[in-house]
């Protein structure tokens, strides 16, 4: 039933945005931001539960907590950047959206270097 609440928030925000665009189009982006933030706040409980579950599984599998932290940060960066990119595209700023995409990709690649290097070390140990 949570999806009904999320869709309701989105539809109410959409109706307000459509009405505002007719009279005060400069305020529509603020309603879009507010709607997105409300949805993000609404799902935070679910997100924290998912993070706890991943940490629990990682502890059972004896996976390095540093790697799990990096993966969670990368996932968060991807979600937040996608949110920002969609807001930029909605407001007609596709050039800014593409710069966010490039910046996000570079940050994700740089953050994943420890995991990649660890995997390469493991592969080199396995190979004769």
In a domain, 43, yes or no: no
Residue 123's domain spans which residues? 63-128
In a domain, 117, yes or no: yes
Domain count, the chain: 1
In a domain, 97, yes or no: yes
Does position 125 have pLDDT exceeding 80, yes or no? yes
Asked if 56 and 41 count as a contact pair (C-beta separation under 8 A), the reply is no
Under the banding of pLDDT at 50, 70 and 90, the label for residue 102 is very high
Specify the pTM: 0.76
In a domain, 111, yes or no: yes
pLDDT in tens, 62-97: 888 888 889 989 999 999 999 899 988 988 899 999
Distance, in Å, from the CA atom of 120 to the CA atom of 94, rounded to the nearest integer, reads 37
């Amino acid at each position: 039933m949570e999806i009904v609440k999320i869709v309701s928030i989105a539809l109410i925000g959409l109706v307000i945005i459509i009405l505002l665009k007719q009279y005060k189009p400069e305020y529509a982006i603020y309603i879009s931001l507010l709607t997105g933030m409300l949805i993000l706040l609404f799902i935070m409980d679910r997100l924290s539960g998912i993070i706890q579950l991943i940490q629990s599984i990682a502890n059972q599998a004896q996976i390095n907590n540093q790697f799990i932290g990096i993966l969670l940060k990368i996932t968060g960066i991807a979600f937040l950047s996608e949110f920002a990119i969609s807001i930029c595209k909605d407001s007609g700023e596709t050039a800014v959206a593409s710069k966010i995409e490039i910046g996000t990709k570079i940050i994700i690649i740089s953050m994943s270097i420890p995991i990649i290097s660890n995997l390469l070390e493991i592969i080199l140990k396995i190979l004769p």
